[in-house]
Structure 1
């Protein structure tokens, strides 16, 4: 189930232009996926099981090391307030290698971990279950995301609304009618997205495509859950894989229950549950900013193809944490959407090759991702366009004024 580029090349309009939010000219890519893949050095495609496993053991080592240091030294801090601060800092640090394990499971789902499919799925199932993510369910929906990245009607996550849908959600006929305090609204959106965003995506397919076959009652949205073998996001043949994913989560919950019984709720809280919540925060934080930017387009079906969709992503920088603990998932994400089977440790070399080939179609930003997060939430509210390219606009008077205002 690895994500791969389509064999056929869809005909689209060449020399297609649009204006991004800043009014800068954007030209949709006209190269083929085959042309891009040909510039990647062949050794980048090599998947080394031993090397991949070494990163699993390395992340587990740091999980244990950080936990040992915390258990040894934090209880000795005499001040209750300082102990609280120390435990808080520890949970953040402990989440870093836990995210690393999540990302290595993600590599397994793309078959980038090794050349052996059964080993990939076994390792991925174990790691994703531990980090609270249903492995096969995520693998299946994530594969479809890769197959239709940037497609306004077929992508699977972080799909921006069109102007009319945004107005309908806010119950207005014109953008001029919106009177809500935008900064406060943005803060509320930020909190919800970063605290429970990933859980709601798994539970009800939030930010995914609409499911008109489901009733509009909120409880019916759970029928689109990643935990439901009959959810519309899956095919009939996926049923038992979803059951296996759920079994992994149930096993983890049983282990967590035993953890609490034997070591107490506080021990489980600081060593697993809070880091688990932070893992979900980091995954939402990263994936949202990998696919959302004032320069990133979406496409109508008639102008979308795989090469254009894969370019509708952006590489960002997250310093030492991104490179060491998050396994370069932020810094080489454009490449990842073109060839997901390339293992992350070959990503920088391959990114260098496609960057030179893509030219202006390659996107990269080294701005602080926390600053960018605020900017994107304020600037990238909905998309519009009249030639098959849909670019971000907003009602906050940031950048170009929407056509439908």
Structure 2
């Protein structure tokens, strides 16, 4: 079955076949025909994904082809080098803590400036520690599994993340990225999820806005974005928010949840114990130094870490450029390249390049972050038009993705975001 026929329901009216190959010349992907309509269905503008859907075709290269394009040394893990990044992040975190202890000496007006600056800076530095723990979960920190798991367990427990529980579900996410029924996070809603609001689709191919439903007041979208950045991560851990839906309570803290296998029971419990130890330490700190101190020194930076985590991952997987696949069309390579790289400026350094090298990370998740920039350059050259990158400023990108990526159609093997 050709890519065009696979997607006739949702994008066939706008599809043209893209040239397949590894050229870096983006002209190999033909532009939309000049005759392509600017609007369709009741005069509405086409959705943001229509252009990408029209140009998409299934690549001919294989995972091994991509691997051969990356220098071999990029796959080497160096334990000593990996630890140096932990030392640097930990030193930065402790230095900021020490500096913050002096804020009590400041006049009120100065403290009102210093504390928010600390919360922002500490949130950024601790996000770097989160990324290192994330690498441990992928076994990218060291060649030795026990080092990966020991370091990851300590770091993630410190940041109130159930290490093994998250490791198991995140591994499934990587194995099935962009798969409509097997991916574990950022699974898009379908039209049927909103059937009562938007009704049945009226046209065989209708890539237009469903304005009566999604033309929300901007303040509503803004508040929803704030809620997503504030509560998105704990709700994912507690209730599998944005993940697959099950008929029972699904939580990263429940060892019998359907997202885990029976053999993983002990590790999930061990993750809960790590969380319990950290919570007990925070309770003890509150008893000694006061709850206000715990709030200022730990809780608010922790919330900032959560916000960065949700923002980064949301933008990696939610964009008009990103397709999602039914089981009949999906394969590992298609899923791995269906994620977006973005530039976070100087924060790329503090975040260990998790945002601007994410395509490489999804293709080769055991590759350490300190080789990811070099690997990304090689992958970008090889993939050509199949490499997804967005240079939109981050704040604007969040708004664009949230307001234009509302749902996908139930039908079709390759699905694109609509709104």
Give the TM-score normalised by the residue count of structure 2. 0.84
| Structure-2 residue corresponding to 1:400 | none
| Structure-1 residue corresponding to 2:149 | 121
C-alpha distance in structure 1 between counterparts of 2:351 and 2:369, whole Å: 10
C-alpha distance in structure 2 between counterparts of 1:38 and 1:181, whole Å: 47
Distance 1:182 1:21, change over 3 A: farther
Distance 1:87 1:288, change over 3 A: same
**2:61 paired with 1:26:** no
Deviations 1:38-66 (A, max 9, x none): 11111001100000001011100000111
| Structure-1 residue corresponding to 2:45 | none
C-alpha distance in structure 1 between counterparts of 2:326 and 2:214, whole Å: 30
| Structure-1 residue corresponding to 2:302 | 276
**2:184 alignment partner, one of 149, 152, 156:** 156
Which consecutive residues of structure 2, in runs of 5 or more, have no partner in the other structure?
15-47, 202-209
C-alpha distance in structure 2 between counterparts of 1:167 and 1:356, whole Å: 42
Q: After TM superposition, list the pairs within 5 Å mapping 1:288-327 onto structure 2.
A: 288-322=314-348, 324-327=349-352
Residue 370 of structure 1 deviates from its aligned partner by 1.1
Distance 1:180 1:311, change over 3 A: closer
Q: After TM superposition, list the pairs within 5 Å mapping 1:22-171 onto structure 2.
A: 22-24=50-52, 25-72=55-102, 74-78=103-107, 80-168=108-196, 170=197
**Does the 8 Å contact 1:167/1:173 carry over to 2?**
yes
Which consecutive residues of structure 1, in runs of 5 or more, have no partner in the other structure?
1-11, 215-222, 395-405
Residue 177 of structure 1 deviates from its aligned partner by 4.8
Q: What is the SS of the residue equivalent to 1:272?
A: helix
C-alpha distance in structure 2 between counterparts of 1:249 and 1:283, whole Å: 18
C-alpha distance in structure 1 between counterparts of 2:79 and 2:213, whole Å: 54
Q: CA RMSD in A?
A: 1.9
| Structure-2 residue corresponding to 1:360 | 385
C-alpha distance in structure 1 between counterparts of 2:356 and 2:261, whole Å: 32
C-alpha distance in structure 2 between counterparts of 1:389 and 1:334, whole Å: 19
Distance 1:225 1:171, change over 3 A: farther
Q: After TM superposition, list the pairs within 5 Å mapping 1:372-383 onto structure 2.
A: 372-383=397-408
Task: Return the index of the structure with the highest Cα Rg.
Answer: 2
Residue 13 of structure 1 deviates from its aligned partner by 4.6
Distance 1:176 1:93, change over 3 A: closer
Q: What is the SS of the residue equivalent to 2:346?
A: helix
**Does the 8 Å contact 1:29/1:307 carry over to 2?**
no
Residue 113 of structure 1 deviates from its aligned partner by 0.1
Q: What is the SS of the residue equivalent to 1:360?
A: helix
Deviations 1:313-371 (A, max 9, x none): 0100101112x211000010001010000000000111111111111010112221111
| Structure-2 residue corresponding to 1:328 | 353
Q: After TM superposition, list the pairs within 5 Å mapping 1:211-290 onto structure 2.
A: 211=246, 213-214=247-248, 223-290=249-316
Q: What is the SS of the residue equivalent to 1:383?
A: coil
C-alpha distance in structure 1 between counterparts of 2:214 and 2:370, whole Å: 48
Residue 163 of structure 1 deviates from its aligned partner by 1.6
**Does the 8 Å contact 2:74/2:374 carry over to 1?**
yes
Show structure 1 runs of 4+ deviating over 4 A: 12-20, 170-177
C-alpha distance in structure 1 between counterparts of 2:351 and 2:215, whole Å: 37
Q: What is the SS of the residue equivalent to 1:393?
A: coil
**Does the 8 Å contact 2:178/2:324 carry over to 1?**
yes
Residue 269 of structure 1 deviates from its aligned partner by 1.2
**2:205 paired with 1:188:** no
Distance 1:293 1:45, change over 3 A: same
Residue 30 of structure 1 deviates from its aligned partner by 2.9
Q: What is the SS of the residue equivalent to 1:313?
A: coil
Residue 196 of structure 1 deviates from its aligned partner by 0.4
C-alpha distance in structure 2 between counterparts of 1:14 and 1:393, whole Å: 19
Residue 245 of structure 1 deviates from its aligned partner by 0.3
